[in-house]
Amino acid sequence: MVTAKRLLSFMMVIFLSFGMASCGKKQEGKLNPDNIEINLKSAASKEEPITYNNVVVKPKRSSTIKKWTTITAVTATGIAVTVASAGSLAPAAGTWIGTTFMGLHGIAATNAGLALLGGGAVGTVVITTLADLTAGYLVEETISRLAQSADNKFHKQAQKELELKNNAMAISLYRESIANREDLMKSYFAIGTLELSKKNYPSAISTFNMILKYSPNSSMVIYQLGLAQLLNGNINEGIDTLKTAINKEPNWDEPYIALYQAYIDNREEIRAFETLMSGVKINPESYQLNYQAGMSFSNKADWNAAISYFSTALKYDDKQADAFLLRGLSYQKIGKKKEALDDFLSVSKILKDKTPYGVNINIGEIYLTQGNKEKSIEYFKLASITIKELQKQQPAPELNNILGYLDKIMQTNKPAGKPWWKVWG
């Protein structure tokens, strides 16, 4: 029979045993985030590889027209040329025949007139390369993912800082996460990505390489390394790394986009096209790859194929003004004005008061050819308002030419007999 005294003695022994064990347990201190190799080595067996599927969902994508404030024209070789003097307004649609234009997705667009984007584009047009602009966009995509990813309390705080564009503070919080032994791999990955966004390419490359040393199956890290190598000027090395990323995760579209642009930048157009078509075949529901394919075919003046791919892209994301715009321009090229009008109106519906003046002029001109003078004047006036607002920000004689062109059409209610963008300069 167990007496109360014996039970109490037994409980005391257990209590003392656990107490002594607890006192003898070694307390873990904070890690030094600068000891990257030691820290990653200890984390390698405990943490999953960083792949596209386990980082976070697809990033939030913004429309080309909404987001970029400059337009870069690029030649067929993939090297960009300036299309306006420093500080001047980027020109409007179709002005630069024989060149192509860049969109947010880092993709060369048709010379048919992507400069419709010009309605809201104020600023310096810079000389760059396709790979540079593409990688810059794709780095932004990954930062968008980081801004949605919150693995622990430090990551949640970093998420808020990223949304406020406080990248330096975000880096400090990711370092704090490492110091507290939480999500080391993802924290170092975030730091590498933010270093990449700061154009500290050697540091980013070093960080990504160190992660891959202990987590070689991290496809997201391989991909980011490829972008860093491209931005650092190591084109061939970046191409090889992106191929590895595709082999690791073939159902992910972004490495195909980056590899496509790397080939374009390296003047390997055939390989670029093959990469793009391979990506579309494996990922037929990818907005970006179908959008890119539409761009590629429009550059070849294969308007029907371009329309087909833009239509597929819009099937999977019908909130992208740039795809509607480019499909509308393609429809114009083959004389389908009604379809073009529908697409330009979709651009206007998405962008509302941010619609570039070129889009509104195109809408007005189509209405005018249909005999709908009231609607044509409505959109010509909207274009005039946008141009006058731009003139307040930065006066440009070229815009006065377009205003004069619009005034003449509204007075006569007759088409001008030449494309509106030919009055530029």
pLDDT of residue 112: 30
pLDDT of residue 100: 31
Q: Which domains does the chain have, with CATH numbers?
A: 149-249 (1.25.40.10), 336-423 (1.25.40)
Distance of CA 34 to the CA centre of its chain: 30
CB atoms within 10 A of CB 49: 19
Please list the ranges in the chain whose pLDDT falls under 50: 1-2, 4-8, 10-27, 56-133, 425
Backbone angles phi, psi at 252, to 5 degrees: -105, 125
Helix (H/G/I), strand (E/B), else coil: 31: coil
Residues 212-226 have pLDDT tens digits of 999 999 998 999 999
pLDDT of residue 281: 97
Distance of CA 45 to the CA centre of its chain: 33
Half-sphere exposure of 201 (CA within 13 A, CB side): 13
Helix (H/G/I), strand (E/B), else coil: 74: strand
Rounded CA gap, 168 and 188, in Å? 14
Rounded CA gap, 327 and 359, in Å? 13
pLDDT of residue 15: 39
Rounded CA gap, 83 and 92, in Å? 11
pLDDT of residue 135: 56
pLDDT of residue 26: 41
- DSSP character string of 210-253: HHHHH-TT-HHHHHHHHHHHHHTT-HHHHHHHHHHHHHH-TT-S
pLDDT of residue 81: 26
pLDDT of residue 156: 85
pLDDT of residue 384: 92
Q: CB within 8 A of 283, min separation 6: which ones?
A: 251, 252, 253, 256, 289
Given CA atoms 184, 190, 194, 196 in this order, what sign does their dihedral have? positive
Helix (H/G/I), strand (E/B), else coil: 407: helix
Backbone angles phi, psi at 112, to 5 degrees: -65, -20
Give the position of tokens 């201190």: 29
Rounded CA gap, 150 and 160, in Å? 10
